[in-house]
């Protein structure tokens, strides 16, 4: 088969990637799942036509979404990942030996199975014996865990798909109730170039629920606009600073995250800061 091009298009922006082979195309109960072999970026996963990851740059997103909240907590023991069926956040969280509980709540079991088949270097996060998988709606699952978790990470799809309830105010209030004292959340919070209204809304909702809030920028070349963000919140005075240093043995395994970029990611450009005023 000759090479062809696959385009993700949203809100006036697009990202076009050259692919050499379609490896998987199916529809689950919740969404369309596609996997392609690309010419330059390794394998690529799309859900409902939206790029979720490529093997080329997934480390940037997964490292930042996992390590920022985990290092913003002084001593995390219990983690919940909502969404994140590809396993990348679990893989990064598993590098924290202090964690005792690593729950993941994913609504679509077929995303997990697809990741395990086609992305073993990402889905290896499931191999950690601390991981417990719950196939459920995260917005409902979290209601049954009051005061239980230290860190909650929401690796959701965009708000138009099955992840829509994860962008609502009630979900953020339910996350707050599910945290132990000193708990931290981090949620996939879109790009200020692509969806500034969503970025603004998530920040404002977090500001109403938590004492400290920040928006951390992450550079991911294969996402439209080349950037995405995480809304990080908790009841620490300074959520944007690491609460503890990165151990040298962990730092040697990381390609994107470090203590300085943890802080720098929260230095927002003026047009983004104005969204939060």
Do 93 and 33 fall within a single domain? no
The confidence score (pLDDT) of residue 81 equals 98
Do 147 and 197 fall within a single domain? yes
- pTM exceeding 0.85: yes
Is 123 known as a binding-site position?
Answer: no
Do 141 and 174 fall within a single domain? yes
Do 144 and 19 fall within a single domain? no
Do 163 and 214 fall within a single domain? yes
Do 44 and 159 fall within a single domain? no
The confidence score (pLDDT) of residue 44 equals 98
Which of 111, 110, 92 minimizes the C-alpha distance to 102?
A: 92
The confidence score (pLDDT) of residue 268 equals 98
Do 173 and 213 fall within a single domain? yes
The confidence score (pLDDT) of residue 13 equals 87
Do 26 and 67 fall within a single domain? no
Which of 157, 174, 186 minimizes the C-alpha distance to 47?
A: 157
Is 144 known as a binding-site position?
Answer: no
Is 217 known as a binding-site position?
Answer: no
Structural domain total, the chain: 2
The confidence score (pLDDT) of residue 162 equals 73
Of the three residues 14, 36, 54, the one that is the final residue of a domain is: 54
The confidence score (pLDDT) of residue 249 equals 96
Is 208 known as a binding-site position?
Answer: no
pLDDT per residue as tens, the chain (277 positions): 568 999 999 888 889 999 999 999 999 999 999 999 999 999 999 999 999 999 999 999 999 999 999 999 999 999 999 999 999 999 999 999 999 999 999 999 999 999 999 999 999 999 999 999 999 999 999 999 999 999 999 999 877 777 777 888 899 999 999 999 999 999 999 999 999 999 999 999 999 999 999 999 999 999 999 999 999 999 988 899 999 999 999 999 999 999 999 999 999 999 999 999 9
Is 155 known as a binding-site position?
Answer: yes
Of the three residues 19, 39, 54, the one that is the final residue of a domain is: 54
The confidence score (pLDDT) of residue 1 equals 58
Do 217 and 258 fall within a single domain? yes
One of 34, 103, 108, 155 is an active-site residue; which one? 155
Is 108 known as a binding-site position?
Answer: no
Active site residue 155: yes
CATH code (residue 22): 2.30.140.10
Do 62 and 145 fall within a single domain? yes
Token representation of residue 71:
């290092």
CATH code (residue 95): 3.40.50.150
Q: Which domain holds residue 9?
A: 4-54
Of the three residues 33, 54, 75, the one that is the final residue of a domain is: 54
Is 25 known as a binding-site position?
Answer: no
The confidence score (pLDDT) of residue 157 equals 81
3-state secondary structure the chain: CCCEEEEEEECCEEEEEEEEEEEEEEECCCCEEEEEEECCCCEEEEECCEEEEECCCHHHHHHHHHHHHHHHCCCCCEEEEEECCCCHHHHHHCCCCCCCEEEEEECCHHHHHHHHHHCHHHHHHHHCCCEEEEECCHHHHHHHCCCCEEEEEEECCCCCCCCHHHHCHHHHHHHHHHEEEEEEEEEECCCCCCCHHHHHHHHHHHHHHCCEEEEEEEECCCCHHHEEEEEEEECCCCCCCCCCCCCHHHHCCCCCCCHHHHHHCCCCCHHHHHHHC
The confidence score (pLDDT) of residue 221 equals 97
Do 73 and 144 fall within a single domain? yes
Do 130 and 212 fall within a single domain? yes
């Amino acid at each position: 088969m000759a090479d062809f091009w696959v385009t993700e298009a949203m809100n006036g922006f697009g990202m076009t990637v050259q692919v050499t082979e379609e490896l998987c195309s199916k529809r689950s109960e919740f969404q369309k799942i596609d996997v392609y072999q690309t010419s330059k970026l390794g394998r690529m996963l799309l859900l409902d036509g939206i790029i979720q990851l490529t093997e080329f740059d997934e480390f940037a997103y997964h490292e930042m979404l996992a390590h920022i909240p985990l290092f913003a907590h002084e001593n995390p023991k219990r983690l919940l990942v909502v969404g994140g069926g590809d396993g990348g956040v679990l893989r990064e969280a598993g590098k924290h030996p202090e964690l005792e509980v690593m729950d993941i709540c994913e609504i679509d079991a077929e995303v997990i199975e697809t990741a395990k088949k086609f992305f073993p270097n990402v889905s290896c996060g499931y191999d950690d014996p601390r991981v417990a998988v719950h196939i459920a709606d995260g917005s409902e699952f979290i209601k049954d865990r009051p005061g239980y978790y230290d860190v909650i990470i929401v690796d959701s799809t965009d708000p138009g798909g099955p992840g829509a309830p994860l962008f609502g105010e009630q979900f953020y209030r339910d996350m707050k109730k599910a945290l132990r004292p000193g708990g931290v959340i981090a949620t996939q919070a879109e790009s200020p170039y692509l969806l500034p209204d969503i970025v603004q809304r998530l920040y404002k909702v977090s500001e109403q629920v938590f004492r400290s809030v920040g928006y951390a920028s992450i550079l991911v070349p294969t996402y439209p606009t080349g950037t995405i963000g995480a809304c990080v919140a908790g009841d620490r005075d300074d959520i944007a600073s690491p609460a503890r240093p990165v151990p040298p043995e962990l730092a040697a395994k990381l390609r994107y995250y470090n203590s300085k970029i943890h802080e720098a990611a929260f230095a927002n450009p003026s047009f983004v800061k104005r969204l939060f005023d």
